[in-house]
């Protein structure tokens, strides 16, 4: 995640079926960064920020998200956490929750944007096939 300048990573992105997220929006590597069974329990407002995804290198798109969220989660020690996030942190939480629910950023795009990204997405798909067969 850090090597690719990512802000978060969800279990399904690395082949884990568990509902686990690591999140470090600041990149400072301080504080709690691994969360189990997270749930967004409140959303408020709306914002649109440019997002990328470690699973779709080079793809950058604007996604509408809630501007503020309240998240419940557990630490690796089983402690219950409740936290508020806004701005980039709120978007990151929603992005990682999408991964836990089987969604990618491209699943939130209108058809016209997908058409504009078609060549880039096909190239990424071919690269993935080449890695899998090679």
Place of tokens 């020690």: 77
Q: How confident is the model at residue 59 (pLDDT cuts 50, 70, 90)?
A: very high
Residue-level pLDDT at 6: 77
Mean pLDDT of 116-128: 94
Q: Which tens digits make up the pLDDT trace of 67-103?
A: 999 999 999 999 999 999 999 999 999 999 999 999 9
What pLDDT score was predicted for residue 4?
67
1-55 pLDDT tens trace: 777 677 899 999 888 889 999 999 887 877 778 999 999 999 999 999 999 998 8
The confidence score (pLDDT) of residue 14 equals 87
Active-site entry in 50, 82, 84, 96: 96
- Give me the mean pLDDT over the 105-125 stretch: 94
SS3 for 80-118 is EEEEEEECHHHHHHHHHHHHHCCCCHHHHCCHHHHHHHH
- Residue 96 appears among annotated catalytic residues: yes
CA distance 70 to 81: 10
């Amino acid at each position: 995640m850090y090597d690719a300048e990512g802000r978060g990573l969800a279990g399904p992105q690395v082949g884990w079926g568990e509902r686990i997220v690591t999140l470090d929006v600041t990149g400072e590597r301080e504080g709690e960064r691994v969360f189990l069974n997270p749930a967004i329990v409140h959303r408020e407002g709306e914002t649109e920020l440019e997002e990328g995804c470690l699973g779709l290198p080079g793809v950058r798109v604007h996604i509408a998200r809630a501007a503020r969220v309240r998240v419940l989660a557990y630490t690796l020690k089983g402690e219950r956490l409740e936290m508020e996030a806004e701005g980039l942190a709120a978007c990151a939480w929603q992005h990682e929750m999408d991964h836990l629910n089987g969604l990618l950023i491209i699943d939130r795009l209108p058809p016209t944007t997908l058409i504009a990204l078609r060549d880039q997405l096909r190239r990424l798909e071919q690269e993935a096939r080449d890695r899998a067969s090679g």
